[in-house]
Amino acid sequence: MSRIGKHPIAVPAGVEVKVDGSTVTVKGPKGTLTKEFKPSMSIVVDGGFVTVTRPDDEKENRALHGLTRTLIHNMIEGVTNGFKKELDVNGVGYRVQKQGKDLIDVLNELYAKYGTFKESQIALAKAGAAGAARIKEMMDTLRQDKPTEIGGVKVVLSEDYATSERSDGTTIDLPKSNVLKYYLEDGSWIAARPSGTEPKCKFYFSIKGKDAKDAADKTEVFHKAMMELIGE
């Protein structure tokens, strides 16, 4: 890095670089950038160039020397031409075509095709012996009065990990646990389980909607529906 650090940085026309102690401010056509650097680095602006020097050849200072020079160069580049991202694809047999889309565009296309999911959780705290009894009562209620619909949406499959049984007659090939899970007709699912470390009964929701607002609105409905099922 020291070989990079020793090279002066040219300041283009229309760009102003000011050094105040360890703070460097660069102003240009694209805006202004300010950054504070390590005091051990000496930064000088002279004759249209920025020069960075280090106090000695210690390993840390050699690394900081090159890093400081690179960061200042990038600041100047940013206020002069702006920043951009480039993707290089190397290989044989690959075809790459730019479609004018960014990550948000692609995500929105996926949401439109597959729906938007909202994850949430309700943790009901029930302390003491009475709380433990109430948590057991909640789980017993869900097992005895198996819900066929939740929030107006049909339950198409339910799983009881304590008995390793599914409602379609198949077996769950996982360690037994006090967990109930419900898969809904709209692609959502809801699970219930007592916490293993806290006096709480937890309910997990993965709710599918047409878009983010629809998923959020449906989540509120399912929250209320589950609490009604257990009498909360």
Task: Report the pLDDT value the prediction gives residue 90, as an integer from 0 to 100.
Answer: 67
Task: Report the pLDDT value the prediction gives residue 19, as an integer from 0 to 100.
Answer: 95
Nearest alpha-carbon partner for 161 in 145, 147, 182: 182
- Residue spans of the chain under pLDDT 50: 1
Every domain of the chain with CATH number 3.90.930.12 lies at 2-81
Task: Report the pLDDT value the prediction gives residue 1, as an integer from 0 to 100.
Answer: 46
Name every residue whose Cβ is closer than 8 Å to that of residue 204 and which is 6 or more positions away in sequence.
Answer: 119, 120, 121, 190, 191, 192, 193
Task: Report the pLDDT value the prediction gives residue 100, as an integer from 0 to 100.
Answer: 73
Task: Report the pLDDT value the prediction gives residue 221, as an integer from 0 to 100.
Answer: 96
CA pseudo-torsion sign 176, 181, 183, 187? negative
Q: Is the pTM of this model over 0.75?
A: no
- Rounded-to-integer distance, Cα 142 and Cα 180, Å: 8
- The predicted-structure confidence for 189-211, as pLDDT tens digits, reads as follows 999 999 988 899 999 999 999 88
- Rounded-to-integer distance, Cα 89 and Cα 98, Å: 12
Every domain of the chain with CATH number 3.30.310.50 lies at 115-229
Pick the CATH number of 115-229 from 3.40.50.970, 3.30.1330.20, 3.30.310.50, 3.40.50.300: 3.30.310.50
Pick the CATH number of 2-81 from 3.90.930.12, 3.40.50.12280, 3.40.190.10, 1.10.8.60: 3.90.930.12
Return the DSSP state at 206.
E
- Rounded-to-integer distance, Cα 169 and Cα 119, Å: 28
- Rounded-to-integer distance, Cα 93 and Cα 91, Å: 7
Task: Report the pLDDT value the prediction gives residue 91, as an integer from 0 to 100.
Answer: 66
Beta-ladder partners of 132: none
Nearest alpha-carbon partner for 6 in 63, 65, 47, 56: 65
Q: Which two tokens stand for residue 194?
A: 């007592």
CA pseudo-torsion sign 225, 227, 231, 232? negative
Residue type, 81: N
